[in-house]
Structures are given as structure tokens and as C-alpha cells.
Amino acid sequence: MNGEAQVRIDLSSPEPAYRQIAGQVRALIVEGALAPGATLPAVRRLAIDLGVHFNTVAEAYRQLAEEGHIDVSHGRVARVVARQVPPAEPEKVAQYQARLRNLLAEARSAGLTREQFRELFEGDEP
């Protein structure tokens, strides 16, 4: 998976590394780039590739496992799981609306126009 360097982290970001890793792997899964059954790199392997401690990667994998995205068990390689997403509760939707709105505001105060931001979204087809 990461021979092509599909995961990149920024240690200077306020976002913790383990959550960046989880977020990017989650994105690959949700977008279908990592299909059900696909194997993930070993935690120690990916850790070396990313230049972090293996515990950091393990933490990311653990979070994905809790969400049901991947299956990790003792002694076995981590694998993507075929998962059915439950329908989103309205409460969740509102929460994401707030988060999207905040992200947009932050982007605009960093100099992006609303149009630029929309293009980021449109140009991101899976």
C-alpha cells in the first residue's frame, strides 16, 4: 500500500499523527482505493516508512478496527473489512455541517476563496 507513498503525515500539524494516519487510511478505504480483503502494511513497516514509532501506527490501526473498517488480530496481518455503513443520524449530520463550516471559514481566512474551496471538493472524485 505505501510503496506508492499514499500516506503522508505532517508532524507540525495540530492534528495528532495517529489520527492523520487513521484519517488517510480511512479515506482510501471509503473511496475504494483499498478494497475489502486488501492487506494493510504491518504496523512496524508503515511506522518505518512514515518515520514514526510503531505505537503511533498501532494506535491508528486500533481506531480503524474499532470503527469496523479493518480487522486486526494477534499474529495476523491487518485486512480491510467489508462494512455496511449505518444510516447517518441527523445529529451526526449537523455535527459535520459545523465542522465543514469551520474548515471553510479557516480556509477563507487563510486566503482561499469560496470558489477555490468548492473546487477542492469537486476535484476530489474517487
38 binds, among its own copies, DNA, none (CB under 5 to 8 A by kind): none
Q: Per CB under 8 A, does 89 bind its own copies?
A: yes
Q: Per CB under 8 A, does 31 bind its own copies?
A: yes
Choice between 75 and 90, CB closer to DNA: 75
Measured between alpha carbons, how far is 97 from 83 in angstroms, rounded to an integer? 24
120 binds, among its own copies, DNA, none (CB under 5 to 8 A by kind): its own copies
Measured between alpha carbons, how far is 56 from 62 in angstroms, rounded to an integer? 10
Q: Minimum distance between the CB of residue 44 and DNA, rounded to whole angstroms?
A: 5
CA distances from 51 to 7, 57, 68 (A): 12, 10, 26
Angle at 32 between CA 30 and CA 33, to 5 degrees: 115
From candidates 37, 39, 77, 100, binder to its own copies by CB under 8 A: 100
